[in-house]
């Protein structure tokens, strides 16, 4: 191949990763669980097929990175199971121009998937553990529609409020008051709520109040107050 070829062949690892992602997305697309009929949005599946999950999970082989399972990301935290990431992304009903807040950046993987879903929007994502935030910031660096903040997500991010969507990827015992306040009228707040028993709840703000809809049982790490 001439050295001037503008599009060199991808490294074999990237080919393998892409094949594993396609297989994972086929599996996600057949998910039909207790969360109601899953009429998958092509945009959600495309985002899942595009984001290289293996970059967000340190020290595992490619096949492990693309299993439909949660994985440790250090500091006692976990990256969610891909099917859960897809379900939560879909449950936000994004059209592409929303202003979104994510609490619990963790590895940055869910943030990258949301970034794909927001070509005309913006994501603010908050992480309380500085080391995780620094690693995610590096992985999200080229995504101009994502801003990462280190801090306590219980306070939300007032400077960028109100938000059209708020996604919690750690579980508080109840909806933090600041987050309810930073949600725009008509907006959706989605997250796991509870301590030992958790349910994924989708709230819609109507006439200043949060109307709730329980989507199903889930298990997330707790949303902890303050910063370490």
- Hey, which residues are catalytic here? 80
Instruction: Indicate left, alpha or beta for 119 from its phi (over 0: left) and psi (-120 to 50: alpha).
Output: alpha
Dihedral sign for Cα atoms in the order 12, 60, 110, 93: positive
Place of tokens 């997305």: 25
Q: Identify the residue whose tokens are 């997500």.
A: 153
Specify the residue, 77 or 115, whose C-beta has the smaller distance to ligand SAH.
77
Residue 66 interacts with ligand SAH (CB under 6 A)? no
SS3 (DSSP) at 183: strand
Residue 182 found at the interface with ligand SAH (CB under 6 A): no
Task: Check: CB of residue 124 under 8 Å from CB of residue 102.
Answer: yes
152 binds ligand SAH (CB under 6 A): yes
Q: Which of 77, 83, 115, 182 binds ligand SAH (CB under 6 A)?
A: 77
H helical segments located in the chain: 12-29, 42-50, 53-56, 62-65, 82-91, 109-117, 130-139, 177-181
For ligand SAH, which is the closer residue by CB, 6 or 226?
226
Q: How far is the CB of 2 from ligand SAH (least distance, A)?
A: 41
Residue 63 has which token pair?
């096949």
State yes or no: residue 110 binds ligand SAH (CB under 6 A).
Answer: yes
Of residues 151 and 216, the one with the C-beta less far from ligand SAH? 151
Q: Nearest distance from residue 203's CB to ligand SAH, in Å?
A: 18
Tokens of 114: 């949301």
Query: Which of 87, 129, 148, 183 forms a contact with ligand SAH (CB under 6 A)?
Result: 129
| Helix 42-50, helix 109-117: angle, nearest 10 | 130
Report helix, strand or coil for 49.
Answer: helix
Q: Say whether residue 224 binds ligand SAH (CB under 6 A).
A: yes
- The span of 17-25, 58-66, 105-113, 179-187 binding ligand SAH (CB under 6 A) equals 105-113
Which one of residues 65, 79, 175, 179 is an interface residue with ligand SAH (CB under 6 A)? Answer: 79
**Residue 170 sits in the site that holds ligand SAH (CB under 6 A):** yes
Q: Is 107 exposed, middle or buried (0-12, 13-18, 19+ CB in 10 A)?
A: buried
Q: Please, what is the minimum distance in Å from the beta carbon of residue 58 to ligand SAH?
A: 11
Q: Which residues bind ligand SAH (CB under 6 A)?
A: 73, 77-80, 103-104, 106-107, 109-110, 126-129, 132, 152-154, 169-170, 221, 223-224
């Amino acid at each position: 191949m001439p050295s001037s070829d503008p599009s060199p062949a991808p490294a074999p690892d990237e080919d393998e990763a892409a094949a594993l992602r396609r297989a994972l997305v086929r599996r996600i697309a057949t998910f039909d669980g207790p969360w109601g009929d899953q009429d998958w949005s092509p945009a959600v599946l495309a985002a899942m097929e595009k984001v290289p999950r293996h970059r967000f999970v340190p020290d595992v082989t490619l096949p492990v990175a693309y299993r439909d399972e949660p994985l440790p990301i250090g500091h006692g935290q976990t990256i969610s199971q891909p099917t859960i990431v897809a379900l939560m992304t879909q449950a936000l009903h994004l059209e592409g121009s929303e202003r979104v807040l994510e609490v619990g950046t963790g590895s940055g993987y869910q943030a990258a998937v949301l970034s794909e879903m927001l070509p005309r929007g913006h994501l603010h994502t908050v992480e309380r553990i500085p080391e995780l935030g620094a690693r995610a910031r590096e992985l999200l660096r080229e995504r101009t529609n994502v801003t990462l903040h280190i801090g306590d997500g219980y306070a939300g991010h007032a400077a960028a409020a109100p938000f059209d969507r708020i996604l919690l990827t750690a579980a508080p015992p109840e909806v933090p008051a600041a987050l309810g306040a930073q949600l725009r009228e008509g907006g959706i707040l989605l997250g796991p709520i509870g301590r030992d028993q958790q349910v994924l709840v989708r709230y819609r703000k109507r006439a200043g109040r949060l109307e709730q809809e329980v989507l199903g049982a889930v298990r997330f790490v707790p949303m902890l107050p303050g910063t370490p």
